[in-house]
Amino acid sequence: MTVFDCVKISLDMLNNKRILITGSSGFIGSHLVNYLLQSYENIHIIGIDNMNDYYDVSLKESRLKKLVDLNKDYTFINGDISDRDFIDELFNNNQFDIVVNLAAQAGVRYSIENPDVYIKANIIGFYNILEAVRNHPVEHFVYASSSSVYGGNTKIPFSTDDKTDNPVSLYAATKKTDELLAHTYSHLYGIKSTGLRFFTVYGPYGRPDMAYYSFTDKLLNNEKIKVFNYGKCERDFTYIDDIVEGIIRILDKGPIDNYNLYNIGNNHPENLLDFIHTLADCLIENGLLTSNFNIDEHIELTELALGDVPVTYADTSKLEDDYGFKPNTSLKQGLNNFVKWYKDYHNK
């Protein structure tokens, strides 16, 4: 597999739009830019990313190269959303129809070790974008939130009507802050904003710090993998194409109200142990592990990690009602696509 996977939907309201996408060399951002460039005529995209080294920069560079190689109307700018002067200059020199803010410092556990970068990127950076949109009005401001805002909620599935007042990680707290800031700016200045709570996104070109990627690395190196909460964890794993299709449908139809929030998840949580067995099956089927590989010998059960939650489960009924879309990629299909890409990208 040598190109990004692409969802296939036929919408045309984004033709001739000028779109800013922050975090455009990130996992979700690069897939979104790729789809837009390949699917719409006369669309101009400016992508910004600070190309930080939270994980291997060469992966971000690889994503960026594939976007540039499309030879479409795409301009990439290396810049940081927490730099107010940079953002002001960007908006002073461009008139955007739509702004999609995907730039953020990701990772729940990393936020415990390095809180400063989360405040800088996820709160100050987000505020800078909001101020720019206030001073340079756009048709629609769309931004990434996270399922982590549900914190320790015990009611499942998680609904956007549920309270989200109990985050259990700094990362979650920054994403909840973004939602509150967006609500305030929508109320005060009429900014049409839509927040998207993503649920455990996975797929080709994903982040190496995510469980499915790091599990693959460890299994191929004959190392053990830690499974938290003694295997009693469930995650609503959502394939990248479904995430992109959800974003596209929201961008194309436009905002329903001045302020809105949606879950984008698979609406089907998977037990982490079952997930690992499915991943191992895909690695065996693609020749990366031997047919007699015993996955159970490589699993180490341990307690729930600080900042983690035992279950995530998306109620996507609001997304279905307003935009007619529900993610539907099976775990086996999504993981198999990832493994094929991993094999090609790492020359295995």
Residues known to be catalytic: 171
pLDDT of residue 67: 97
Beta-ladder partners of 141 = 99, 193
Task: Return the structure tokens found at 237.
Answer: 């794993």
> What mean pLDDT value characterizes the chain?
93
Domain boundaries, the chain: 18-203+238-267+312-328
CA 318 – CA 323 distance, rounded (Å)? 8
Give yes or no for a contact between 24 and 237, defined as CB atoms under 8 angstroms apart.
no
Distance between CA atoms of residues 265 and 250, nearest Å: 15
Can you give the pLDDT at residue 5?
52
pTM: 0.94
CA distance 277 to 160: 31
pLDDT of 307: 64
Six token digits for residue 302: 């341990």
Q: Which residues of the chain have pLDDT under 50?
A: 1-3, 7-8, 10
Are 112 and 118 in contact, with CB atoms under 8 Å apart?
A: no
Helix (H) or strand (E) holding 238: strand 238-239
Number of residues that this document lists for the chain: 348
Q: What pLDDT, on the 0 to 100 scale, is given for residue 35?
A: 95
Taking Cα atoms as reference points, which of 23, 37, 109 lies closest to residue 71? 37
Multiple choice CATH, 18-203+238-267+312-328, 1.10.630.10, 3.40.50.720, 3.40.50.40, 3.40.50.10490:
3.40.50.720
- 17's tokens: 């739009």
- Residue 47, CB half-sphere, CA atoms under 13 Å: how many? 28
DSSP string of 79-103?
--TT-HHHHHHHHHS---SEEEE--
- The pLDDT of residue 218: 96
What SS3 class is residue 315?
coil
Determine the pLDDT at residue 225.
92
Establish how many alpha carbons lie within 13 A of residue 97's alpha carbon, considering only the half-sphere containing its beta carbon. Answer: 14
Q: In sequence order, what are the residues at sequence separation of 6 or more whose Cβ sits closer than 8 angstroms to the Cβ of residue 63? A: 25, 26, 27, 30, 205
